[in-house]
Amino acid sequence: MSNQPAPHLIELNGEKIELQDLLQRYQKLEAENASLTNTHSTALKKHQEDQELKPFQAELIRLQRYLEDNNKRMIIVFEGRDAAGKGGTIREVTRYMNEKHYRIVALGKPTDEQRTQWYFQKYVSQFPRGGEVVLFDRSWYNRAMVEKVFGFCTEDEYENFMQGVTGFEKDLARNGTYLLKLYFSVTKEEQAVRFEKRRTDPLRQWKLSEVDLQAQDRWDEFTHVKYEMLKRSHTADGPWTIIRSNDKHLARLNAIKVILNSVPYEQLDSSLEYTPDPKIVVSGSRELEKMDAQRIESGHIRA
């Protein structure tokens, strides 16, 4: 004869159900409700963020019209570490813009022919015509960052670039091109979180490259070349603007504000706050001051 206690039964809608089974059903239902609540909350937050961006995106259309009416050219450079949020920001910047008057340029590895040419040539060939905006998803600064860290260029090639880039950009400014250089700055911890999402999400796995896989291990090397790049290429003609991008939405919103402030078009909506958040947007010179202080604190005092 079994010593097992009789199951506790509860009658529910004419059905006798074990108490343990009822508890499991309740826990499952509770988990499903929590999932639905989280999904709803995420969707609501995304909707609110989209609504906050829209009036500024409308201003971008007006900025485009100013460039077109005045036959002006504009280049926006998007730089930063992998997973810093460059691509997502570019999508929001261009979401409602007139497709006839902007281009997104993301160049791959140089061809054999391009390797024999002047380094800037492949970028110059993509420059805007009058009335057009070109957004570079990574730019000629590949040489100062990725190529330098991974040894894809020689020391001479790197040094020639660093010596020549300021004059190159000065010529752009002198010839009337609006040049805006944005560097998206993400923390090491947040980069790791974003890489993990890329690794586990089938819809994002295509974003994970061999370079990405080494980015965390080479964090300090990228920090060093970022410092050298800012120190040697932050000029009056080509200043850097740093965008703190741990919060993707705030990074996108404030990057759009920076873009709007870089062109003297007539603002359509005077009720908007066009001033970027100083906790999100930092000048290249302020970033250098911060990095100098960190280098001194850690013992890496610059020579």
Confidence of residue 9 (pLDDT cuts 50, 70, 90): low
84-98, 137-151, 202-216: which has the minimum mean pLDDT? Answer: 202-216
- Domain of residue 279, CATH code: 3.40.50.300
Instruction: Give the pLDDT mean for 276-285.
Output: 98
For residue 148, the model assigns a pLDDT of 97
Residue 229 has pLDDT above 90, yes or no: yes
The enclosing H or E element of 126 equals none
The pLDDT of residue 158 is above 70: yes
Average pLDDT over residues 220-249: 98
In-domain check, residue 47: no
* 42 falls within a domain: no
Which domain, by its residues, includes 169?
Answer: 56-298
* pLDDT, position 236: 96
Is residue 228 pLDDT above 80, yes or no? yes
Q: Is residue 10 part of a domain?
A: no
Question: CA 186 to CA 80: how far, in whole Å?
Answer: 8
pTM of the model: 0.85
Q: Name, in order, each residue with C-beta under 8 angstroms of 128's C-beta and a sequence gap of 6 or more.
A: 73, 74, 75, 103, 134, 177
What average pLDDT does the segment 189-210 reach? 86
The confidence score (pLDDT) of residue 298 equals 79
N-terminal to C-terminal alpha carbon distance within the chain: 87
Would you say residue 197 lies in a domain?
A: yes
DSSP bridge partners of 243: 184, 281
Average pLDDT over residues 203-221: 84
User: Is 44 contained in some domain?
Assistant: no
pLDDT the model gives residue 184? 98
More confident residue, 17 or 240: 240
Q: Tokens at residue 138, please?
A: 């990574």
Residue 303 pLDDT class (50, 70, 90 cuts): very low
Residue 163 maps to a domain: yes
Sequence-distant (6+) residues with CB within 8 A of 180 are 74, 75, 76, 77, 241, 258, 259, 262
132 lies in a domain? yes
| Helices 86-94 and 248-261, axial angle in degrees (round to 10) | 60
**Quick one: DSSP state of residue 196?**
H
- Average pLDDT across the chain, whole number: 91
Output 241 or 12, whichever has higher pLDDT: 241
Confidence of residue 302 (pLDDT cuts 50, 70, 90): very low
Rounded to whole angstroms, how far apart are CA atoms 225 and 118? 22
Is 242 contained in some domain?
yes
The tally of domains found in the chain comes to 1
